[in-house]
Structure 1
């Protein structure tokens, strides 16, 4: 027996050439659309050859079609959408970049948006509707079927980036008194049930989850056995108002595939699946990195003005910190004028200190984001970072001290810059851990403002310590 006979293609994917996947010429070795393929599609659209464009795009996976729109210049996306409109289904919108999707949604009328949203899971439909203008949002909701409208309105009532926005309401829940046979019959007889699920939730008379049962257990259990005897009673329940970042951490910690979401009364209102969490983990990780750099959302599809607004305020804040450092330098103007070499060396002290502070800050922010750093290990972490800073400081100070002493034939100058370097790296280590912790205590996002304060601390203290030591040591007369 051949492998093809052991593994026949699923329905709708018969090997007749009609759905054999994307053509070999469309994707490169990293499964990315080739530039020449994108150009070929856009050329056909420009020539008005919609059939030719559609023939090229049709074999692509929905995720690849979404990529095609992201790779298409903004001014050409609507023409592409018009040419392959019948391929632009809910699955494609679900995979699409937020900015690109918003641009295309703006070109559709409310009934078309409602038709797309009605085909999606609730969480994906909410992602499309939540960023629309209020008037457009109401128009789309009015065009939806009553059940879909009620589910989406309920989701929109929860705060952004909470489990309530993230969860999907399409799930399977059965009463605890049913047998395995009852569950199987229920699944087979109801065509309106969701088709994508891995667990069945067992609820009591108050619709509160009391356990969960994997599909594999049900399939391998005799029909006469009570579902309550098969289910797993220990389960991780997600409060509906939990932040999505905390949801992702729970999935990671407990290796979850899906989890029940409960309201304030403990009733089952939805579920979250691991595919949604993967997006959150990627989104939150990238978000923290971009916040540390002050780059806003950092999406290459973000409008230029939005990128400008998110970045310029942090550049102005950095300008303020630079003025603090410049003020400190001005206090030692006389010292620098007597020994110009100090002006050449002092950026080294500030720069290396800034890098050391950034290292510690990045480690601390990540530890806070992943719940590795808590009240129980705060002081141990601070002591650890001080020891790391001390080792780094001694090493770098020895290198810079010896180097300066040899290059400038001035052992006293080498000693001064070595002492300043050691002191500034220690200060940077403390700032890198204490500033994020302080912001966390004040309920501020440490990823947003930490870099500004750490930069100000390392620059200003680097200049102050170096120039102060140079003056106090009698190096400059």
Structure 2
């Protein structure tokens, strides 16, 4: 409906435009392309693959065109490398910056390496600075220089400035698109400036107020600005208390600050306390998801654990921890060897040993997972380590006694009461030791400025297995049940 045909109210003012009924992309494709879990259906993926094999570019385009950029990225990741290139070539104008930004890091890296620098530069020009940095940082230095040479000087300076900061810091991740105004403005001045619209980000929710040295002195939410009288000074309505993020702060700490203070956005400042960027909650959601997955994978020794990771890198990341685990397993084997004669005399010991080790290992893993998470979320600090340790020891003692009663009664009924008592006592000892190791090993790594999730599981498993075997077999020998 044109402006001239829109109805007027009684005061002669244009009424709000009524929303037109449009078919949403999601409504059009849910049944035929997406399943109930919002993932691409296998039959749809096969139809795209068949069209590619037949060289029917038009059919491929028609199949992919209705998809959301994030779903196009998912589709690309489902294909092998050569097929990805074919698919990208068939849907060239659908390969927007939104699709590239959603791609898995490894997939994006290989696809960018296959494109000429000028093509990558065109994609970079469409991206926000933080997304552009994420794309370029994965390229080797020679490709980085070639791509940056094709980018406009202003964007090039911003990207090079971001690349100068360490990886996974606020400086790498922050957005340089923000609104900052001097503190002497009135609300009316600010509204006029925003309506002018020059050099403003496409989307923003908060306005930063700065002094003459570009130091942030307060913030104004758009909701405040819209409701305040024009004559009021910004200094009278702005929020002076704000959370400032140092440009070198690690991304995990950034996520914790947003979580702790319920932030929507926050100013990023350099070493001179000057405003240089902002972090927003959508950035932090990605950070939290990434860090949570990273910790879980590190605890298992699986490296980055990405299914698109090259085989050689996946092998290298995993095998070193398996070799380390082999070494720690030998410690437990040596302890078993010390009691070889006792085991030969009483086969029941060999039957029951795995139970002691298994329960101890599981108990240690539980405590370790709780401890690693507490360290990651700053719930466990130097000031409360002792209290947390004593808490976990009490939990371990209760768990140990419960399991000991069950295994002791069962063993006593099947074998002998004496052996039941021995395994019950060994179980209590091992579960308590597991609780102790589950706290102290991650804490020790953290005190050494190492990621507590990296190798804690290897050492906790070694301790629980070794001490479990030693306690059980040692008590068996000491009790005299082995003749």
TM-score interval, normalised by the smaller of the two chains:
over 0.9
Gaps of 5+ in 1: none
| 3-state SS of 2:351 partner | helix
1:23 aligned onto 2:13 = no
Match of 2:99 among 92, 98, 108: 92
Q: Counterpart in 1 of 2:418?
A: 412
CA distance in 2, matches of 1:181, 1:201: 16
Q: Counterpart in 1 of 2:5?
A: none
Q: Counterpart in 2 of 1:336?
A: 343
1:80 aligned onto 2:66 = no
| 3-state SS of 1:385 partner | helix
| 3-state SS of 1:202 partner | strand
- Shift of the 6–47 alpha-carbon distance from structure 1 to 2, 3 Å rule, reads farther
Q: Counterpart in 1 of 2:286?
A: 279
C-alpha contact 1:177 1:226 (8 A) present in aligned 2: yes
Q: Counterpart in 2 of 1:180?
A: 187
CA distance in 2, matches of 1:354, 1:7: 65
| 3-state SS of 2:453 partner | helix
1:109 aligned onto 2:116 = yes
CA deviation digits over 1:372-407, x for unaligned, max 9?
A: 111222111111101000000000011111101111
Q: Counterpart in 2 of 1:227?
A: 234
Q: CA deviation at 1:58?
A: 1.5
Q: Counterpart in 2 of 1:398?
A: 405
CA distance in 1, matches of 2:23, 2:58: 18
1:457 aligned onto 2:466 = no
Q: How does 1:415-430 map to 2 (within 5 A)?
A: 415-430=421-436
CA distance in 2, matches of 1:119, 1:188: 24
1:369 aligned onto 2:373 = no
Q: Counterpart in 2 of 1:131?
A: 138
1:120 aligned onto 2:120 = no
State TM-score, norm by structure 2.
Answer: 0.94
CA deviation digits over 1:389-429, x for unaligned, max 9?
A: 00000000111111011112x11111111111110001000
CA distance in 1, matches of 2:82, 2:408: 57
| 3-state SS of 2:240 partner | coil
With 44-53 and 227-236 compared, the bigger mean Cα shift is at: 44-53
Q: CA deviation at 1:217?
A: 1.1
Q: How does 1:99-248 map to 2 (within 5 A)?
A: 99-248=106-255
| 3-state SS of 1:448 partner | coil
Match of 2:394 among 387, 392, 395: 387
With 29-38 and 267-276 compared, the bigger mean Cα shift is at: 29-38
Match of 1:296 among 291, 297, 303: 303
C-alpha contact 1:22 1:61 (8 A) present in aligned 2: no
C-alpha contact 2:429 2:471 (8 A) present in aligned 1: yes
With 41-50 and 299-308 compared, the bigger mean Cα shift is at: 41-50
Q: CA deviation at 1:192?
A: 3.0
C-alpha contact 2:25 2:68 (8 A) present in aligned 1: no
Q: CA deviation at 1:369?
A: 0.2
Q: CA deviation at 1:267?
A: 0.2
Q: CA deviation at 1:6?
A: 7.7
Q: Counterpart in 2 of 1:352?
A: 359
CA deviation digits over 1:16-57, x for unaligned, max 9?
A: 669676423111112211111122222222222222211221
CA distance in 1, matches of 2:431, 2:290: 32
Give the RMSD, CA atoms, in angstroms: 1.5
- Shift of the 19–399 alpha-carbon distance from structure 1 to 2, 3 Å rule, reads closer
Match of 1:470 among 462, 467, 476: 476
- Shift of the 390–75 alpha-carbon distance from structure 1 to 2, 3 Å rule, reads same
| 3-state SS of 1:376 partner | coil
State TM-score, norm by structure 1.
Answer: 0.95
CA distance in 2, matches of 1:50, 1:135: 33
Q: Counterpart in 1 of 2:3?
A: none
CA deviation digits over 1:229-265, x for unaligned, max 9?
A: 1211111100000000000001011111110000011
With 160-169 and 222-231 compared, the bigger mean Cα shift is at: 222-231
With 266-275 and 369-378 compared, the bigger mean Cα shift is at: 369-378
C-alpha contact 2:170 2:248 (8 A) present in aligned 1: yes
Q: Which runs of 4+ in 1 moved over 3 A?
A: 5-9, 14-22
CA distance in 2, matches of 1:325, 1:19: 59
Q: Counterpart in 2 of 1:258?
A: 265
Q: CA deviation at 1:223?
A: 1.9
- Shift of the 7–249 alpha-carbon distance from structure 1 to 2, 3 Å rule, reads farther
CA distance in 1, matches of 2:38, 2:466: 48
C-alpha contact 1:21 1:60 (8 A) present in aligned 2: no
CA distance in 1, matches of 2:54, 2:201: 42
CA distance in 1, matches of 2:24, 2:61: 14
1:438 aligned onto 2:483 = no
Q: May I ask how many residue pairs the two structures share in their alignment?
A: 468
CA distance in 2, matches of 1:6, 1:414: 81
| 3-state SS of 2:455 partner | helix
